[in-house]
Amino acid sequence: PHAIGHERVRDLAEEVAEVFPDSVHDSGEDGILQVDTYPMLIHAVAAIQELNDTVRLQDTELAVMRARLARLETLVAKGGSR
């Protein structure tokens, strides 16, 4: 991996500031921006938890649908062998 240039780092910090304005501060040194990543971490963890809840719900729904499909396939197989 190669190093990211200072301009790109500043661009990324400015993008972060659009979403988390209180998390980006000018260091006072040659326009260097400092980013406090803790607020982003809190939001990322919350988003991961939401996604996990969604996946669990979808897993449950999928299990129900698979069981229904198996019952339907059994009924079709019995009807087809008559």
pLDDT in tens, 27-78: 887 778 899 999 999 999 999 999 999 999 999 999 999 999 999 999 999 9
Q: Is the dihedral of CA 52, 55, 61, 63 positive or negative?
A: negative
pTM assigned to the model: 0.63
Does pLDDT of 80 surpass 80? no
CA 8 to chain CA centroid, nearest Å? 23
Higher pLDDT, residue 44 or 1: 44
69 versus 80: the higher-pLDDT residue is 69
- Contact of 58 with 38, CB cutoff 8 Å: no
